[in-house]
Amino acid sequence: MKTRRILFCACAILVLIAIACAMLVIGRGHTMYFDNKDLEYDGQTYAASHRINVYVNDERVARLSEGDRGLATFTGQSFSFDLVVTRVDDGEEENFSYTLKVPYAEDGIIVNLPGLIEDLPEDAWMSEFVPVPSVEEEEDEEIVIDEFDMAMEDDMGA
Amino acid sequence: MNTKKSSAPKRALTFLSNSAVPLMFIIIIAICIPISGFSPTFLLNEVMTRLSRNAFLILSLLIPIMAGMGLNFGMTLGAMAAEIALIFVTDWQIWGIPGIVLAMILSIPLSVILGILCGKILNAAQGREMITSYIISFFMNGVYQLIVLYMMGSLIPILHGNIELPRGYGVRSSVDLTNIRKTLDNLLAINIAGVRIPVATLLIIALMCLIIVWFRRTKLGQDMRAVGQDMEVARDAGINVERTRLISIVISTVLAGIGMVIYLQNMGDMATYSSHSQIGMFCIAALLVGGASVDRASIGNVFLGVILFHTLFILAPSAGAKITGNEVVGEYFRVFVSYGVITVALVMYETRKRRAKARAAQQLRQEQEVEK
Amino acid sequence: MSEYVKESERSISARMRQALKSFGLPRLIIALFLLLMFVLTPFAGSNLVSQITNVINRFSWNAVLVLAMVPMVHSGCGLNFGLPVGIIAGLLGATCAIEWGFTGPVTFWMAILIATPFALLFGAAYGWLLNKIKGGEMMIATYVGFSVVSFFCMMWLVLPFKKGDIAWGFEGTGLRTTFPLDKYYEGVLSNFLRVQIGRLVIPTGALLFFALLAILIWAFLHTKTGTAMTAVGSNPNFARASGINVDRIRLLSVVMSTWLAAVGILVYEQGFGFVQLYNAPFNMALPAVSAILIGGASANKASITNVIIGTILFQGIVTMTPTVMNGLINLDISEVLRMVVSNGMILYALTRKTEVSR
């Protein structure tokens, strides 16, 4: 009886840990930034397109002119999206579909679309997005510890 | 426990005295609704939001009451565990439903540790559990500040600057939960006549109710009720009283932790140093408004309590503004009502306990006289 | 001979252990910690004498509030978590005295005078309630205190106070959350017979006032009624059997505690220099409770010595830690420390089995 209970508890804990791990993997949120900008690689220049539309699940998330940046958020380590590219003004529309694997540790990933379309190696068009901390925000905020904080508009919604 | 059937007027009287608080609330609300001038749709929407937000937290109070430990003011400890879990989940950037599930799971070990601590202290303070659990919540609040304000970022790694204070350690006074905000509430949500119903949240709450009903029938649940009725009798019957009481507090703390995650995902923003401070008080007040007492509470009390208490909460400021010309009066009024309800419930409980004691003593005396 | 020495040594160590036990481990830790703070003060770059002045000052503000615990503990009503009830009476005295046009030091005495009937009334009601619920005093006292404070949060807004110094002038009604007392009774006690030697300032008047009240309480506890009160606290059944009206004695103790709290808040304000209304009284009960516990009291035993030692230790920690901690490691954990120490002390007292208050 006792061993059965211990076994049951161990199983329950294992299941919880397994779920937690799964959540860590599938719930990791990333932001992908799409750049429609000129790319220099190996001495060659890949020019930005006239217009690129980015679709996720058939929903347009970004409409990029030359030099624009758009973004989309997603969870998990792989991200699928479709591109509709118009290289020059009044040119023909080309369709692309991609599924990219992204590193777990990076919050934001920049993808250079002209490089991606040209099938360059990954390090050419993928890089980490590092946010620049704003300077004026650097002063300390006051933390008020009040045992009887009656500011209930916050807590309970006014 | 009366074997004789009590007469109808007497029964009506008992009913009245047992449900005096809910009836009083219904009357106040009935007066306030026309004064406030809110539309029924608005009110229903608000009540539905608050019901889904708070019900799970309040359910966590039921089990210690069953075990005779009174109102568990220590549920705040579970709320703190949930907040720490949510800080990590936000920092690790786990979004959406997975974030909520992960926060719930992470809160469990913390809640268990805090619950065991709380249970041990309460076992040492038998007979004054409530005041002790109340002081524990203050004490642990200090420990929580120590961890979150001084150790996070210095000893416990925090990755993101938007959570950490600019000075390099400590968590900011508000943590943004945008990425998990209302994801549970929006799951399967439906609209009925302009009222938004968060089906998934309600399903979880319903499931919890079923679990509590089932739990009452298990061996452990029966033991708890026995301990709640009479500790000495339970001990003689071979029940490990201390362990049973401890488990009831641990379960309550864990449930409070999960409830707090549900609560905060609905709020979408976490006041790091004050979200938990009043939560115990409001949950207890809501439960008591629903007609519960210190030694007796049902699932029905939870739902009636949430609806009545929070309807008053919504109405009070605007009704107060209309009556006295000052909205703040209404806000203070609802605080007063919360405290007042708890006071009245505690007084009623203690007087009843004393009367029962006196009656038992009298009975004993009579029996002795008969023996003579 | 050597036998004899050993014997006496043993008895000394046993006696020391006994003394340590009665002193209590948490108390010892707190006392040592405070001592450490004093030793560290010069290294933290602050002046030891001005620190001592600080502690004495804070003592003179708070001692009466802590003294208000004594009567209720003596009669077995437990720790007075309902201190705010008396505080509200004191605040009513202060606001009414100012509203009715008194200025200068006389306001203080008028405030006490006006607060007295309120304190008696509130105390009587509060005591009557506590007699109904013997055994559950502490929890109910806490919530009675909260209810009264939140009720008066409304009252401060609604009551017709008009005087510009204390009421919101432009918004019509309602009292200010905080207002200064410089035109009224700031320092009325502290500045009386004030001694100043270099940086050391001793608020003689305030200390004398506390001493007067403390001696009165001490003397009262040695009168017939006072001993009856102690008897009720230590064994109510025995007291009842020996013909003492238990309920009446308990009621008296609650009224006394409430009145002392009312006076205590006025003494606090004359030192602090401001009156704080609305939510401020919420925060006043727990520090006073833990102060008397730190001083060596328990849920059913408290003496004047406990009050004095406890207030010095508690206020010492509250005033010393921020400066010393800030000076030494540039880390102000004093607020957190205060919460942990004061509530930890209350927990310690509540969990000691031998001291059940019934």
Cβ contact (<8 Å) for B125 and C140? no
For residue C358, the model assigns a pLDDT of: 38
pLDDT (0 to 100) of residue A149: 44
Of C217, C194, C176, residue with least CA distance to C271: C194
CATH number of A29-132: 2.60.40
Nearest CA in chain C to B346: C140
Q: Does C358 touch chain B (CB under 8 A)?
A: yes
Would you state the pLDDT for residue B2?
44
- For residue A6, what are the CA distances in angstroms to A9, B108, B222? 5, 18, 21
Beta-carbon contacts of residue B244 (< 8 Å; ≥ 6 apart): B67, B220, B223, B224, B227, B234
SS3 C22: helix
Chain A interface, mutation test: which of C87, C277, C279, C330, most A Cβ atoms within 10 Å?
Answer: C279
Contacts with A52 (C-beta within 8 Å, 6 or more apart), sequence order: A34, A36, A62, A64, A83, A84, A85, A86, A113
Contact B278 A155 (CB under 8 A): yes
Chain-chain contact of A145 with C286 (C-beta, under 8 angstroms): no
- Closest chain A C-alpha to B173 CA, distance in angstroms: 6
Q: Which amino acid is at B113?
A: I
Any idea how long chain C is?
Answer: 358
Domain ranges of chain A: 29-132
Please state the separation of Cα C202 from the chain's center in Å: 20
Smallest CA-to-CA distance from A99 within A74, A126, A79 is with A79
Please report residues of A whose CB lies closer than 8 A to that of B271.
Answer: 154-155
CA distances from B21 to B18, B284, B340 (A): 8, 14, 11
CA-CA distances (angstroms) from residue B261 to A125, B63, B73?
A: 39, 19, 18
Which three-class secondary structure string do you get for chain B?
CCCCCCCHHHHHHHHHHHCHHHHHHHHHHHHHHHHHCCCHHHHHHHHHHHHHHHHHHHHCCHHHHHCCCCCCCCHHHHHHHHHHHHHHHHHCCECHHHHHHHHHHHHHHHHHHHHHHHHHHHHHCCCCHHHHHHHHHHHHHHHHHHHHHHHECCCECCCCCCCECCCCCCECCEEECHHHCCHHHHCCCEEECCEEECHHHHHHHHHHHHHHHHHHHCHHHHHHHHHHHCHHHHHHCCCCHHHHHHHHHHHHHHHHHHHHHHHHHHHCEEECCCCCCCHHHHHHHHHHHCCCECCECCHHHHHHHHHHHHHHHHHHHHHHHHHHCCHHHHHHHHHHHHHHHHHHHHHHHHHHHHHHHHHHHHHHHHHHHHHC
pLDDT at C172: 62
Q: Is the dihedral of CA C75, C81, C83, C84 positive or negative?
A: negative
B326 Cβ contact partners less than 8 Å away, ≥ 6 residues apart: B320, C157, C158, C173, C174
The chains found to touch B (3+ Cβ pairs under 8 angstroms) are A, C
DSSP string, C104-165: STHHHHHHHHHHHHHHHHHHHHHHHHHHHTTT-HHHHHHHHHHHHHHHHHHHHHHS----TT
Distance of alpha carbon C308 from alpha carbon C211, whole angstroms: 10
The residue ranking higher by pLDDT, A119 or C10, is A119
Among A145, A148, A150, the residue with its CB nearest the CB of C335 is: A145
CA distance B233 to A114: 80
Between the alpha carbon of residue C5 and those of residues B252, C9, C17, the distances in Å are: 58, 6, 18
Contact list in B for residue C337 (CB cut-off 8 A) is 142
Q: Comparing C222 with A2, which gets the higher pLDDT?
A: C222
Chain A residue with Cα closest to C334: A145
10-residue mean pLDDT profile of chain B (372 residues): values are: 59 77 88 87 92 95 93 94 95 93 96 96 89 93 92 89 85 90 89 90 96 95 93 92 95 96 93 88 91 90 94 86 80 87 88 86 85 68
> How many contacts (CB atoms, under 8 Å) link B and C?
116
Which residue shows structure tokens 């799971």?
B105
Interface test with A, best of C83, C146, C278, C335 (most A CBs within 10 A): C335
Predicted pLDDT of residue B1: 42
pLDDT of the residue at B114: 96
In chain C, domain spans:
25-352
pLDDT in tens, chain C (358 residues): 455 555 566 677 777 777 777 667 778 888 888 888 888 888 888 888 888 898 999 999 999 999 999 999 999 888 999 999 999 999 999 999 999 988 888 999 999 999 999 999 999 999 999 999 888 888 899 999 999 999 999 999 888 888 878 887 666 678 888 889 888 888 888 888 888 888 888 999 999 999 999 999 999 999 999 999 999 988 888 889 988 999 999 999 999 999 999 999 999 999 999 999 888 898 889 999 999 998 888 877 888 999 999 999 999 988 888 888 877 777 778 788 888 888 998 898 888 755 444 3
* Out of A24, A107, A143, closest to residue B173 by CB: A143
- Residue C304: enclosing H or E segment and its boundaries? helix C304-329
Backbone angles phi, psi at C341, to 5 degrees: -65, -50
CB contact under 8 A, A148 and C282: yes
Around C52, how many Cα atoms within 13 Å sit in the side-chain half-sphere?
A: 14
B96 and chain A: CB distance < 8 Å anywhere? Answer: yes
Contacts of A150 in chain C (CB under 8 A): 279, 282
- Mean predicted confidence (pLDDT) in A53-69: 89
Please name the residue of chain A whose CA is at the shortest distance from the CA of residue C282: A148
Count of positions (residues) in chain B? 372
Residues 6 or more apart whose CB falls under 8 angstroms from that of B1 comprise none
Which site among B80, B102, B147 would you substitute to test the A interface, given the most A Cβ atoms closer than 10 Å to its Cβ? B102
Closest CA of chain C from A147, distance in Å: 7
Looking at the complex, report in whole angstroms how far the Cα of residue C279 sits from the nearest Cα belonging to chain A. 8
- Separation of alpha carbons B126 and B245, rounded Å: 10
**Across the interface, which of A24, A140, A145 has its CB nearest the CB of B165?**
A140
Please report residues of B whose CB lies closer than 8 A to that of A147: 138, 141, 277
From the list B94, B160, B165, which residue is nearest A23 (CB)?
B94
Structural Rg of chain A based on CA atoms: 23
- Distance set, CA B26 to CA A151, B288, B301, C245 (Å): 26, 14, 14, 42
Please report all neighbours of C, defined by 3+ CB atom pairs within 8 A: A, B
Contact map slice: A 42-101 vs B, CB within 8 A: 73, 75
Instruction: Point out the residue among B125, B145, B326 whose CB comes nearest to the CB of C350.
Output: B125
What are the b/e assignments for C184-202, b being 16+ CB within 10 Å?
A: bbbbbbbeeeeeeeeeebb
The span from the CA of A3 to the CA of A101, in Å, is 44
Phi, psi of C139 (to 5 degrees): -65, -45
List Cβ<8 Å contacts ≥24 apart for C151-154. Answer: C151/B336, C151/B340, C152/C88, C152/C91, C152/C277, C153/B332, C153/B335, C153/B336, C153/C278, C153/C279, C154/B329, C154/B332, C154/B333, C154/B336
Q: Is A133 on the interface with C (CB under 8 A)?
A: no
Helix or strand holding residue A46 (H, E):
strand A44-46
Q: What ipTM goes with this model?
A: 0.87
Q: What pTM value is reported for the model?
A: 0.88
Question: Do C279 and A147 lie within an 8 Å CB cutoff?
Answer: no
Tell me if chain C has a CB within 8 Å of the CB of A148.
yes
Residue C243 region by backbone torsions, left for phi larger than 0, else alpha for psi between -120 and 50, else beta: left
Does C336 touch chain B if contact means CB atoms closer than 8 Å?
Answer: yes
Contact B61/B283 with Cβ under 8 angstroms? yes
Exposure of B9 by Cβ count < 10 A (0-12 exposed, 13-18 middle, 19+ buried)? exposed
**Torsion angle of alpha carbons C298, C304, C305, C309, nearest 10°?**
80
Q: Across the strands, what pairs with A93?
A: A86
CA distance C142 to C135: 14
Domain boundaries, chain B: 36-275, 278-290+300-372
* Adjacent-strand bridge partners of C298: C301
Of all residues in chain C, the one with the smallest CA distance to A145 is: C335
For residue A153, give the DSSP letter: I
> Is residue C209 within 8 Å of residue C263, measured between CB atoms?
no
Tokens standing for C81? 């978590």
Cα-Cα end-to-end distance for chain B:
28
HSE at residue C279, side-chain half, CA atoms within 13 A, is: 10
Query: Does the distance separating the beta carbons of A19 and B105 come in below 8 Å?
Result: yes
- Give me the CATH code for the C25-352 domain, please: 1.10.3470
Query: What is the C-alpha to C-alpha distance for residues C97 and C107, in angstroms, rounded to an integer?
Result: 6
CB-count burial class (<10 Å; 0-12, 13-18, 19+) for B301: buried
Is A158 within 8 Å of B331 when comparing Cβ atoms? yes
Contacts A–C by Cβ distance under 8 A:
12
**Residue A22: DSSP 8-state:** H
d(Cα B284, Cα B277) in Å, to the nearest integer? 13
Closest residue of chain B to A30, computed from CA coordinates: B93
Counting one residue from chain A and one from chain B, the pairs whose CB atoms sit within 8 A come to 101
A136 pLDDT more than 60: no
Q: What does the alpha-carbon distance between residue A112 and residue A123 come to, in Å, rounded to a whole number?
A: 10
B interface toward C at CB cutoff 8 Å? 121, 124-125, 127-128, 130-132, 134-136, 138-139, 141-143, 145-146, 149-150, 324, 326, 328-329, 332-333, 335-336, 338-340, 342-343, 346-347, 349-351, 353-354
Chain C interface includes A143 (CB < 8 A): no
Residue B218 in contact with partner chain A when CB distance is under 8 A: no
Residue of C nearest to A150 (CA): C279
Per-residue model confidence as pLDDT tens digits over A5-54: 899 999 999 999 999 999 999 999 999 999 888 888 888 888 888 889 99
Contact C299, C350 (CB under 8 A): yes
d(C-alpha A106, C-alpha B159), whole Å:
11
A1 touches chain C (CB under 8 A): no
In chain C the beta strands, taken as DSSP E runs, fall at 178-180, 195-197, 200-202, 274-276
To the nearest whole Å, the CA of C44 is away from the closest chain A CA by 23
The answer to whether C139 contacts B131, with C-beta atoms less than 8 Å apart, is: yes
Element (H, E) at C255: helix C246-272
Please state, in angstroms and rounded to a whole number, the distance separating the CA atoms of residues B102 and B54: 20
Dist CA C45 CA C168 (whole Å): 42
Question: For an interface test with A, which of B101, B164, B283, B337 has the most A Cβ atoms less than 10 Å from its Cβ?
Answer: B101
Who among C147, C154, C336 is closest to B145 (CB)? C336
